[in-house]
Amino acid sequence: MKLEKIAELVGGKLEGDGSLEISGIRGIEQAEAGHITFLSKKTFLEILNRSQVSAVLVKEVVDTSVSQVIVASPELAFARLIREFHPEPQPKPGVHDRVVVGKNVKLGAQVTLSAGVCIGDDVEIADHVHLYPGVVVGDRCRIGSHTVLHPNVTLYRDTELGSRVILHAGVVIGADGFGYTLDEKGAHYKINQIGRVVIEDHVEIGANSCVDRAAMGTTLIKQGTKIDNLVQVAHNCTVGEHSILVAQVGLAGSCTLGHHVVLAGQVGVADHVTLGDQVTLTAQSGTFRSIESNKVYGGHPAVPLGEWKKYVTILPKLPELARKIRELETRLNEIENNPSSR
| Catalytic residue list | 235
Separation between Cα atoms, residue 321 and residue 206, nearest integer Å:
45
Show the 3-state SS of the chain: CEHHHHHHHHCCEEECCCCCECCEECCCCCCCCCEEEECCCHHHHHHHHHCCCCEEEECCCCCCCCEEEECCCHHHHHHHHHHHHCCCCCCCCEECCCCEECCCCEECCCCEECCCCEECCCCEECCCCEECCCCEECCCCEECCCCEECCCCEECCCCEECCCCEECCCCEECCCCCCEEECCCCCEEECCCCCEEEECCCCEECCCCEECCCCCCEEEECCCCEECCCCEECCCCEECCCCEECCCCEECCCCEECCCCEECCCCEECCCCEECCCCEECCCCEECCCECCCCEEECCCCEEHHHHHHHHHHHHHHHHHHHHHHHHHHHHHHHHHCHHHC
Given a contact cutoff of 8 angstroms between Cβ atoms, the answer to whether 64 and 48 are in contact is: yes
